Amino acid sequence: MLITMKTSEEYLQKIYGMKHNVIINGENVGRDDPRLQGTAKTLALTLDKVNDPEFKDLLNVESPEFGTINRFTHIHQSVDDLLKKQELTRKICRISGGCIFRCMGIDSMNALSIITHRAEAMTGQPYNQRFKKYLKYWQENDIIGSCAQTDVKGDRSLRPHQQADPDLYVHVVEHRDDGIVVRGAKNHITAAAVAEEIIVLPTRMLTPEEDEYAVAFAIPGDWDGVKLVTRASSHKRDFYECPYGDVGDVENFIIFDDAFIPNDRVFLSGGKGEHAFGGWAALLFALYHRHSYTGCKPATSEIILGFSALVSEYSGIEDKKHVQSKLADLISVSELVYAAGIAAAYKGTKDESGTMLPDTVFCNVGRKHAGKNYYHELEILADLAGGLPATLPHEADYYDETIGPLLQKYLKRKEDVPSEDIYKLYRALSDMLCSSIGGVSAVAGVHGGGSPAMEDVAILKQYDIDLRKKIAKYLAGIQE
Ligand SMILES: Cc1cc2nc3c(=O)[nH]c(=O)nc-3n(C[C@H](O)[C@H](O)[C@H](O)COP(=O)(O)OP(=O)(O)OC[C@H]3O[C@@H](n4cnc5c(N)ncnc54)[C@H](O)[C@@H]3O)c2cc1C
């Protein structure tokens, strides 16, 4: 049974009809604002590709309850599901030229499938029943969602309940019979301005004083009392079409200004001694998200590798020893991160809820390796490209009737490569190394899915270091 295959046109029409709660540079804008289209069109790809023979088997999946659905709305049931999500993410990122913006939705929904199951079993509140109803809506309508986890957090040395202003972490300010009222702000929320739904989760482990911060819910992006302050960037070309020129990025600062959330959209309602579930929800989202990174980051590394190899070819240095060694470095990063994701899937475990969990250590070492290497990968590209990405003449000059031919002559490198191809490549390198989006991707490479220290915490918590100490003692001849 094929229950839903939403078209990209349906998605775009839906978001274009949403209320104007997106603010860019002091102006309330509709979701049809040109600055939002790069990200919206990348998201649309994940709908359009369902019938593409190359993606069909990866994108379509049988849900146990609802028939054939888009994998980006699926709750993972098996090792194969985790592997396919990873492969799918890598493959679409190759086409989109970077982030595909859909992992936040699927990762938060998988985390909620587990946490609501546990919370309902332990508290008797109908959190899982509500989640399942919401999941049905999500899957039937092929919902595009973002995940708002990261609170603004105030003074980092203080816990949520110790902050001078209690609103620096999102929390419940009123419990009503029909729902809750929430206040606070989340920042860095990717794609929220072009998402149909925003899933809100706690950001960290919580103490008993912080019950009101253990809140999880879902809202449409234009919900009353919700304001999105949006930073939008793009690579748009003026003189020629190219896929990398369509890349866009949309990051959002989301303010919950005493927003009312009705019960059927509340998955943890704060209060009632539920703080522990808040922390687990935070960890679970991070775990799924780090597994998604083992799909998208190898693709980004491949793009850097492709740019590095091509610019070396165009410059006539591809066969030089130091270039070959740098290309091998890039391949090693890409494939080791991917391998960690595969291992995480194979070593995964089935949660009591039925949802498949990837292995924590493999997810985190993979994500850590990716994050640690991102600036190193960019350094290789900058090294091999020379300084031109930073100093490239503007497109209007390159294509100008008077000065253009001279630029075309002097930008030439290898004889058999047309000057225009060299210009186009350097434009793309400039996007990656010197643009606003390039900078956003680099910082995301370090912090997306949690700052590096949080990966270390997750690794050290799970890894059996005592076992390794025992091995050391045995080898050194030290008696227990
Ligand atoms: C481009 C981009 C996209 C993102 N997309 C999303 C998204 O879609 N959804 C979402 O929820 N989040 C998203 N994030 C947020 C990301 O998860 C956070 O940036 C990350 O968790 C770090 O949080 P922070 O930015 O507040 O930095 P901080 O937490 O302030 O980290 C800065 C430094 O302070 C250290 N630090 C912080 N607190 C402590 C402490 N108590 N003790 C010791 N050291 C501390 C950190 O280890 C780090 O070294 C995104 C981030 C980026 C950059």
Domains and CATH numbers, the chain: 281-471 (1.20.140.10)
Atom of ligand 1 nearest to the CA of 147: 9
Q: What is the pLDDT of residue 4?
A: 55
Q: What is the pLDDT of residue 235?
A: 84
On the 0-12 / 13-18 / 19+ scale of CB atoms within 10 A, 238 is exposed
* Other Cβ atoms closer than 10 A to 68: 15
Among 289, 451, 456, 457, the mutation site with the greatest number of ligand 1 atoms within 8 A of its Cβ is 451
The whole-angstrom separation of Cα 172 and Cα 190 is: 23
CA of 420 to the centre of ligand 1 (A): 41
Q: What is the pLDDT of residues 202-212, one digit of tens each?
A: 999 999 999 99
Structure tokens at 243: 């896929």
Q: What is the pLDDT of residue 63?
A: 85
Q: What is the pLDDT of residue 480?
A: 80
> 400 and 216 in contact (C-beta within 8 Å)?
no
Residue owning tokens 């912080």: 210
Q: Which region holds residue 33: left if phi is over 0, alpha if psi is between -120 and 50, else beta? A: beta
CA of 327 to the centre of ligand 1 (A): 30
Nearest CA to ligand 1 atom 34: 156
Q: What is the pLDDT of residue 66?
A: 79
Nearest CA to ligand 1 atom 33: 451
CA of 317 to the centre of ligand 1 (A): 39
CA of 444 to the centre of ligand 1 (A): 9
Query: Which residues are paired to 259 by β-bridges?
Result: 182
Q: What is the mean pLDDT of each run of 10 residues along the chain (480 residues)?
A: 75 97 96 96 93 93 87 97 98 94 97 98 96 96 97 97 98 98 98 98 96 98 98 90 91 98 97 92 97 97 98 97 98 98 98 98 97 97 98 97 97 97 97 94 91 94 96 94
Q: What is the pLDDT of residues 405-429, one digit of tens each?
A: 999 999 999 999 999 999 999 999 9
On the 0-12 / 13-18 / 19+ scale of CB atoms within 10 A, 42 is buried
The whole-angstrom separation of Cα 65 and Cα 58 is: 19
If we measure between CA atoms, which residue out of 34, 31, 11 comes closest to residue 21? Answer: 31
Residues with CB under 6 A from ligand 1: 104, 146-150, 153, 156-157, 188-190, 251, 440, 443-444, 447-448, 450-451, 453
